[in-house]
A and B are shown apart, each in its own frame.
Chain A
Amino acid sequence: MADQKEKKYLKPLPVIDEETRPWWEALQRHELYVQKCRDCGDLRYHPRAQCTSCLSPRTEWVRCSGRGKVYTFTATYQNQGAGFREALPYIMAWVELDEGVKMLTNLVECRPEEAEIGMPVEVVYEDVTPQVTLAKFRPAR
């Protein structure tokens, strides 16, 4: 394989299924979406096939600005999981997107002592494997 020389990615990868594939494919294109119900207008993250408010299967994909703010976070200093133990400390956060829903992610390009609730952040795309791109956030510039 061509990329055998590259550093192996050790952290767990998502198991992508048919229901969520369009969302992961959008990330590969460096685009972030949330879903909106075409019938009742309810927003939802993470993606799923039907609206949880009215059970409608009619879904609109809303392209996100990629901006939001930190709702809460933690700097993790202990995790023996492969890939994470090499990355300590890392910051995990719930980020509230400008569109109005929260997503679990990592804060990057940010030291633990710089992170704070309410801090404006912007998306960065990390292509971790040829199949998987992750949406992470850094302090807004």
Chain B
Amino acid sequence: MSLTRKACVAGVYEHPTRFAPDKSMFQIAAESIRGALHDCGLTIKDVDGLAMAGIGMSGMGILGFCDYMNLNPNYVDSTSIGGSSFVAHTAHAAAAIAAGLCEVCVVAFGSTIASYRGPTGAGGGGGDTCDQFEIPFGPTTVGSYAMVAQRHIHEYGTTPEQLAEVAVTMRLHASMNPVAKYRNPITVEDVLASRVISSPLHLLDCCIISDGGGALVITSAERARNLKKKPVYILGTGEAVRHAARGQRDFLDIAAAQSGKLAFERSGVKHADIDMAMIYDSFTITVVSTLENLGFCKPGEGGAFVSGGRLRFDGEFPINTDGGGLSSNHPMMRGMFLVIEATKQLRGECGPRQVKDCRIALVHGTGGSLGLRHSGATLILSNQ
């Protein structure tokens, strides 16, 4: 069964706050749901599906949120695979809608990780079986990605300057986004002069920490036709996981290789058809490695690919026009904002950072730790 154009992103809302010490994470999620329903002209009474994952939500946290919102959905999805969760939720919602399990599914997220001051990228640890062979050695999120960066540099000659270009471009985009957390321009030299967090990654190679949240309304193509905003169709989806593979993994083969291939095959879209992309930028290496694994360039060419302004909103291959996790917001999970910005681009709502003639966008979420265990989820979206 092909999912192509059966379901749409009908409504989106990005919570503008970046610091919310006065709010709870459920409150931010609820305010985001109100915003996304208002965006497309639906009401909470129309919602019969809910997808959610959050920082600090327990395995059954979605039950608590149904209680909080007094929702009685026919379909629930609390898939929790890190920052890519909401990209996967969008795909699952589309499949559920196509299969008749629900008609209007809300994907929601709220986080107060910055104001709560929880341990984020430089924390570590866990209680699962596999963790027992890692936690004694001090793994951090940054460290895990840094080990992939180190290998990438070794294998392909990628330079710290090339990695830094990603951060510089994201900051340029953030300067055009009024709600971005950091908007002052930075240079490659600034990135390289910032302190090393986990070699070879500097502070400015790492995503920021913010509060925030957002919501998406996913519905059938038929239902979306009569709503307030122009529907954004889901053409193809894919998801994948990579891990240590019993000690035999090639760490430059990441989940995007599998999820991207699936999304392209299922959508029938070619790489050359993609007008802009939202690529999870937890770290600069994430972008370089993801672009290679999605097939936008060959393995080892990612460093050159991200250079020379190609990723700028007015460049050959615009990505992360909102400023990304490196500059706009990163409440520990960012997949939500990837779908929101891609949708706004496809609707032509991005003002000074709008990509010209934007018809097809690719979204790729990464969750977990690239050098330990991680997930990848890819969506291909179109306004036609």
Contacts and interface: CB of A to CB of B under 8 A. Distances in A.
Contacts of A48: 129
Interface in A1-60: 11-17, 19-20, 34, 42-46, 48, 52
B139 interface: yes
Interface string B192-233: 000111111100000000000000000000000000000000
Contacts of A79: 122-124, 138, 140, 143
Contacts of A19: 129
Contacts of B372: 104
B137 A94 contact: no
Interface string A65-76: 000000111111
Given A74-B146, A77-B195, A102-B248, A13 B136 contact: yes
A80 B135 contact: no
A16 B132 contact: yes
Q: How large is the interface on A (under 10, 10 to 19, 20 to 34, 35 or more residues)?
A: 35 or more
Main SS of chain A's interface residues? loop
Interface residues of B, number: 41
Contacts of A20: 129, 132
Contacts, number: 129
Contact of B124 (A45, A52, A81, A102): A81
B368 interface: no
B199 A112 contact: yes
A103 B251 CA distance: 13
Given A11-B138, A77-B196, A78-B197, A94 B251 contact: yes
Contact of A101 (B142, B154, B248): B248
Interface of B: 119, 122-125, 127, 129-130, 132-140, 142-143, 146-151, 154, 195-201, 244, 246-249, 251, 371-372
24 contacts: A17-B129, A19-B129, A20-B129, A34-B247, A43-B247, A44-B247, A46-B130, A71-B251, A72-B150, A72-B151, A73-B147, A74-B147, A74-B198, A75-B196, A75-B199, A78-B142, A78-B197, A79-B122, A79-B124, A81-B119, A101-B246, A128-B136, A134-B136, A134-B137
